[in-house]
Amino acid sequence: MKALVKGSAGPGLELTEVPDPRPGPGDVLLRVLRTGICGTDLHIDSWDDWAARTIKTPLVVGHEFVGEVVEVGAAVTGVRVGDLVSGEGHLVCGSCRNCKAGRRHLCANTRGLGVHVDGAFAEYAVLPEQNAWVHRTEVDLDVAAIFDPFGNAVHTALSFPVLGEDVLITGAGPIGIMAAAVARHAGARNVVITDVSEPRLELARKVGVDLALDVRTSSVADAQAALGMSEGFDVGMELSGQPSALREMIANMAHGGRIAMLGLPADEFPVDWSSVVLKMITIKGIYGREMFETWYSMSVLLQRGLDLAPVITDRFHYTEYQQAFATAREGRCGKVILDWTER
């Protein structure tokens, strides 16, 4: 089969032939239909320090995908041939304390599909049955392909109650924009999102944020004044990984405010911890999705009218992967989709 492979240490990916995967007793085999390009894929492609420390080659990359089940292992009981499946890309051990307590998203032994084991940028992919989310209602294939990052957004956006609250989101990448859409859908009073990319801020406006702020020319304090706020934001969602973003968020939180932090900083940086203490702010780290409560929430949100169409801006055939990766790397787009249906 054709697959996008990191063949050796160094920049670049290769579209090449690899052996067809075979499902084990508890696995399902999927014919991949669509995949989404993630920031992690860009890191692997460019072979930065993180990739050099983490990736063992050769590796089929990719972890955002949807596919049709074409074969199931002998021990599979709940997934059938013909099912449409999105994949949960975090492979947990099942035996640690958190896994046994039903807190699989907290498994310390988590391995990543397309990071530690072969992924889904391929014509076929193997997935453990317990990681297969079967779509029981109609869903757009492009949207189904990005259930993984959509789950990050939902996990972040719903970590704290947002009904009637003033919400600040720093980072208008695809996950930030989806988190803004979820917060708006869940009844937030005001949703403000910040970034330095005008095309991405415009995408955020399309999903209904109250204010999309370019922090090169305006401050979060300016946003408060424009919206008639006087006591700060109730809920913050940090998705940029930028030190200045977190510091400004803390400075503009209300007393008792709560921050969900998904953005991953590249380096250590100072924080005004005295403000965190004196304002009694809660900061919660977010990684991945709650398995599988977040997935239920995602499906219900879509069934109840949440529209993710504005977030998906570019589509390419998988053979055009170089152009697709270049588009994603520019940072002026939403989600970039690779189509694997035409062989």
Q: What pTM was estimated for this model as a whole?
A: 0.96
Does 312 share its domain with 197? no
Long-range contact list for 111-116, CB < 8 A, 24+ apart?
112/40, 112/63, 113/62, 113/63, 113/87, 113/89, 114/40, 114/41, 114/59, 114/60, 114/61, 114/62, 114/63, 114/89, 115/40, 115/44, 115/54, 115/55, 115/59, 115/63, 116/54, 116/56, 116/91
In this structure, is residue 291 part of a structural domain? no
In angstroms, the CA 225 to CA 179 distance is 23
Q: Are residues 125 and 227 in the same domain?
A: no
CA distance 270 to 89: 32
- The verdict on 184 and 231 lying in the same domain is yes
Does one domain contain both 260 and 225? Answer: yes
Domain assignment present for residue 142? The answer is yes
Residue 321: DSSP 8-state:
H
**Same domain for 280 and 200:** yes
On whether the CB atoms of residues 279 and 257 are closer than 8 A, the answer is yes
Q: Which residue ranges make up the annotated binding site for NAD(+)?
A: 175, 195, 200, 262-264, 286-287
- Residues 113 and 90: their CA atoms lie apart, in Å, by 6
Q: What is the pLDDT along the chain (343 residues), one digit of tens a residue?
A: 999 999 999 999 999 999 999 999 999 999 999 999 999 999 999 999 999 999 999 999 999 999 999 999 999 999 999 999 999 999 999 999 999 999 999 999 999 999 999 999 999 999 999 999 999 999 999 999 999 999 999 999 999 999 999 999 999 999 999 999 999 999 999 999 999 999 999 999 999 999 999 999 999 999 999 999 999 999 999 999 999 999 999 999 999 999 999 999 988 999 999 999 999 999 999 999 999 999 999 999 999 999 999 999 999 999 999 999 999 999 899 999 999 997 6
Q: Is residue 18 part of a domain?
A: yes
- Does 214 share its domain with 315? no
Q: Is the residue at 266 inside a domain?
A: yes
State how far the Cα of 34 lies from the Cα of 23, in Å rounded to an integer.
Answer: 20
| Pair 212, 317 in one domain | no
Q: Look up residue 117 and give its DSSP letter.
A: B
Residues with a catalytic annotation lie at 40, 43
Binding-site annotation: residue ranges for Zn(2+):
38, 63-64, 93, 96, 99, 107
> How many domains does the chain contain in total?
2
Rounded Cα distance between 11 and 57, Å, is 12
